[in-house]
Amino acid sequence: MGLRSLANHIQILIDGKQKQVLSLDIGSRYIKGLCREGNTIKSAFVYECSGEKPKDIVIAIKKNGFSNSNVNIALKGPDSIMRFVTFPRVEKTVLKQSFGYELGKYIPFPPDSVYFDVCVIEEEYNKNESLVLLAAVKKDFINGILEELVKENISLKEITLTGVSLLNLFLSVPNKKGNSALIDIGTDSTTLNVIKNNIPYLSREIKTGGKELLKKISSLKNISLDEANALLIKNEKPEELLEIGEEIFLGICEEMRSSFDYFEMNTGEQVDNLYLTGGFSFINGLDKIISGAVGINVNSWEPWNDLKISFPENIQSPKGLFTSALGLTL
């Protein structure tokens, strides 16, 4: 079994005669689900994980009435890795086999402990090498999910990584010029992808996310994390939230700047635009803090508007929570 990878961008083709497809973005705290028909999101839900991820996935599927659906899943976290690496140019038909012999050089896990996939992003990256996307996930994690889905007779259609899903969506939306950075602020971490003239170039995970802000709000206001999260979603006093989280966000910006410096040093080019998404990206004024800290124009990314996709009117959660799940529906 492998992971479906990225080739400039993925098109996930769904046969209209098949069962409806449910797309799940598996985060550290929440499972975000979308069911899409045409240009309409028929259902969108958020399920809070209890701690045992494979069982949580099944519960989220069944609780929301999708037991008879095909399921697409996007994953991220310490059990997975996504990297762009240079590799000697070989025929695409033997790329995965050839890469498998060298896999240990590129991942922090024993090679035999992961499922992996690779694909060529830029064939003539330099004289003798191609730029290759590597995606890998620990077998134990995947096998645990498969075991639970099989037990409940739930059909798995696709597994990929959250970063791949986000890039798939980003590259499906036209009219982006120059070099871009895509920032997804999640609960436990922040995902950064740099795209050079519509070709993915760099990906990294910054080990700081919105949970640090929730902890700080909880401590300062003497409330629970759930109450802090509810306060954040209301977004009624963004100036106060920004003041509380300023040090956290500036720390994320410092990590971003080091990646942008690396990009500039290796390409001689700069990042022109930054696109902000994720469940913690919606705080009013956050774009200005980030723009001031990194010196790059920041856009609040709303791909559902670009693609003219409508969400249910009664949706309670910020739409930015569903960006990766939306990428899985393409």
- For the cut 80, the answer to whether the pLDDT of residue 7 exceeds it is no
Burial class (CB in 10 A: 0-12, 13-18, 19+), 28: middle
Asked whether residue 8 is domain-assigned, the answer is no
What range defines the domain where residue 133 resides?
A: 21-166
Q: What is the pLDDT of residue 12?
A: 32
How many Cα atoms are found within 13 Å in the side-chain-facing hemisphere of 156? 22
Let me know whether 187 and 156 are in one domain. no
Q: 55: which 2 tokens?
A: 């069982």
Let me know whether 150 and 180 are in one domain. no
Asked whether residue 322 is domain-assigned, the answer is no
Note whether 41 and 55 are within 8 A (CB).
no
Let me know whether 295 and 222 are in one domain. yes
Let me know whether 293 and 191 are in one domain. yes
Let me know whether 241 and 208 are in one domain. yes
Let me know whether 140 and 224 are in one domain. no
Asked whether residue 231 is domain-assigned, the answer is yes
Beta bridge partner(s), residue 36 = 41
148 vs 19: CA distance, rounded Å: 20
- For the cut 90, the answer to whether the pLDDT of residue 236 exceeds it is no
Let me know whether 153 and 221 are in one domain. no
Burial class (CB in 10 A: 0-12, 13-18, 19+), 17: exposed
Asked whether residue 117 is domain-assigned, the answer is yes
Pairing relationship of beta strands 155-161 and 179-185 according to DSSP bridges? unpaired
Last residue of a domain, one of 142, 166, 190: 166
Reduced to 3 states (helix: H, G, I; strand: E, B; else coil), residue 57 is: helix
Last residue of a domain, one of 118, 134, 166: 166
Last residue of a domain, one of 107, 137, 166: 166
Q: Rg (Cα) of the chain, in Å, rounded?
A: 20
Let me know whether 162 and 180 are in one domain. no
87 vs 108: CA distance, rounded Å: 18
Chain segment 56-89, per-residue pLDDT in tens:
999 999 999 998 889 999 998 889 999 999 999 9
Note whether 166 and 327 are within 8 A (CB).
yes
Asked whether residue 93 is domain-assigned, the answer is yes
Q: What are phi and psi of 287, to 5 degrees?
A: -60, -35
Q: 270: which 2 tokens?
A: 């700069």
- For the cut 70, the answer to whether the pLDDT of residue 313 exceeds it is yes
Let me know whether 265 and 181 are in one domain. yes
Asked whether residue 226 is domain-assigned, the answer is yes
Task: Give the total number of structural domains in the chain.
Answer: 2
pLDDT > 70 in the chain, percent? 94
**CATH code, domain carrying 131:** 3.30.420.380
- For the cut 90, the answer to whether the pLDDT of residue 35 exceeds it is yes
Let me know whether 135 and 36 are in one domain. yes
Asked whether residue 307 is domain-assigned, the answer is no
- The angle formed by the CA atoms of residues 287, 284 and 295, to the nearest 5 degrees, is 15
CA distances from 181 to 194, 271, 294 (A): 4, 7, 11
Q: What is the pLDDT of residue 101?
A: 94
Asked whether residue 214 is domain-assigned, the answer is yes
Q: 151: which 2 tokens?
A: 């037990």
Chain segment 44-59, per-residue pLDDT in tens:
999 988 878 999 999 9
**10 — pLDDT class (breaks 50, 70, 90):** very low
Let me know whether 189 and 94 are in one domain. no
**CATH code, domain carrying 204:** 3.30.420.40
Note whether 256 and 183 are within 8 A (CB).
yes
Q: What is the pLDDT of residue 229?
A: 82
Q: What is the pLDDT of residue 2?
A: 35
Note whether 135 and 160 are within 8 A (CB).
yes
Chain segment 167-205, per-residue pLDDT in tens:
989 988 866 778 999 999 988 889 899 999 888 889 888
Residue given tokens 């498998």 in the structure block: 100
Let me know whether 226 and 182 are in one domain. yes
